[in-house]
Structure 1
Amino acid sequence: MAYIAVTALSHVGLVREQNEDSLVVGPWTLCGTVTENPQTLVFRLGKPLVVAVADGLGGQPAGEVASALVVRQLATAGPSLDDAEALGDVLNLCNRVVHAAADGRPELTGMGTTVAGAVVLAESLMIFNVGDSKVFDAGPGGLRQVSVDDSPPPVPPRRTTSLVTQTLGGTRALSAVDPHVAAFPLGPGDRYLVCSDGLTDPLPDDAIDDLLRLHDDGRAAFELWKAAIEAGGPDNISLALVRIGA
């Protein structure tokens, strides 16, 4: 029987006062809390399984509220996400939910979040994102980003930019989002990394690739977190490793 193993971790980092990231793995959500030890969940392959990271917008209020709203909505809708249209509809619903929660509440005005993740189906996998959280194919061929950043290109010598051109919620008036969705065939041994920019901003891709090649999923998740902390831990760090087993 084929299975899906998901190893996840979320941490506040060394600079932020609180964790504004949230995670969803199937029906399980982790919102604004800290897990220094990776947690692994195993599911049968078959029904749609959603795995995603939502990163509350820094510099805006209540990012942890926005990210939690999104992952809980995805957890509820997960079993029905069987095609790209359904996935796009749910991401737009998430956008409306975040805007509605902030309406008339000054302490929540402008809250928003990015999101990136994967929906594992019986024979394929859908990658999606809104904002600059990322998804990588971490298979034997090496690390390859398969999500599409909603951000302007960095200005040399900077490798990254904190600006995002599209979010769920946020300061812009309510309008439809245009999520990035791509489908890939699925096979035993496939491995994907879903993460917030708290991992990718301090660590270059080749460092992430090296750690993923050296370690199995549980150890790899820990070593990735450790490397981001040793690089200064400037933001919340959340990641999920998705592996297809036989």
Structure 2
Amino acid sequence: MGVAGGEVSVTALTHRGAVRSANEDAVVMGALTVASANMTLPVRCVLPVSEPVILAVADGLGGHAAGEIASEHAVHRMAEMSTRLAGPDDVDVLLKNIDEEIKDHATQHTEFSGMGTTVAGLLLNNDGNFWFNVGDSRTYRLEGTRLRQLSQDDSPPLPPSDDGKPVTTNFITQSLGGSGSTAMVPHVGRDHEPDPGTWLMCSDGLSDLVPVEEMERIIAEAGSDEGAVHGLWQAAMEGSGRDNISILLARRV
């Protein structure tokens, strides 16, 4: 039995991929953050949900160093505020504050002009399970063996491809920070009451390269969460590994 509110087990991996020289992704798990890392094996931690817990991936934008700084700032601020987030309104305010902070930093340091980061994640507390995102990083809920996308991609609609494969783009319509002139509006929603559940969060280094059906198969056939996350990373690497890859697999019990 866990403490009041249950607990969440989180298995995480973040890696630069097969092409990029650095990893501009970062992840947060409650008070824990991992940034600029090059992990080849996942780590697993178990966090009590007696206090609110935030889990998220962030994908830095704006070139080497700039994107790294933006994503690291985002996860550090989320870790700092994790236990104080009562619900979706608090998440909305936090993401808007991070957006302003990154823009202020870029204004003061011209070499970082336009830097930003995507974010996708969950807030788990005694009132429910809440998802949020800005940009094209994704949060899915695992329902049986199927992955249902909760997050809303901030990317322009694209025509279907001739070969039936997903069409992807590196262009996003908003991020935390970034050079957009319009106001950033986070997507925040309630997934379920504070029920048990399983979720996958990832940067587009996974979702652009590995079809959802393949992700579902890897998770279903893995003998453990560590095996599932490692298998997802391997599939992205085999799919060219052209981008940084970050993966969180979370189970609330």
Whether TM-score is above 0.5 comes out as: yes
Q: Which runs of 5+ in 2 are unaligned?
A: none
The aligned residue for residue 240 of structure 1 is 248
Is 2:62–2:112's contact at 8 Å kept on the other side of the alignment?
no
The aligned residue for residue 57 of structure 2 is 53
**Structure 1 counterpart of 2:177, which letter?**
G
TM-score by length of 2: 0.92
Residue by residue over 1:14-50, the C-alpha shift from the partner in whole angstroms, topping out at 9 and shown as x without a partner, is: 1111100011100011111111110001011221100
Distance 2:139 2:27 in 1: 14
Distance 2:29 2:9 in 1: 10
Distance 1:172 1:123 in 2: 34
**Structure 2 counterpart of 1:222, which letter?**
H
Is 2:22–2:64's contact at 8 Å kept on the other side of the alignment?
no
1:12 aligns with 2:8: no
Distance 1:154 1:214 in 2: 32
Shift of 1:60: 7.5
Which residue of the other structure, out of 91, 94, 100, is the alignment partner of 1:90? 94
**Structure 2 counterpart of 1:213, which letter?**
A
Which residue of the other structure, out of 176, 179, 192, is the alignment partner of 1:171? 179
2:157 alignment partner, SS class = coil
Q: Which moved more, 1:146-155 or 1:233-242?
A: 146-155
Q: Which moved more, 1:127-136 or 1:210-219?
A: 210-219
Distance 2:7 2:228 in 1: 19
Shift of 1:104: 2.6
Shift of 1:3: 1.5
**Structure 2 counterpart of 1:110, which letter?**
G
The aligned residue for residue 180 of structure 1 is 187
The aligned residue for residue 209 of structure 1 is 216
TM-score by length of 1: 0.95
Distance 2:62 2:143 in 1: 31
Q: Which runs of 5+ in 1 are unaligned?
A: none
Aligned residues: 243
**Structure 1 counterpart of 2:112, which letter?**
L
The aligned residue for residue 227 of structure 2 is 219
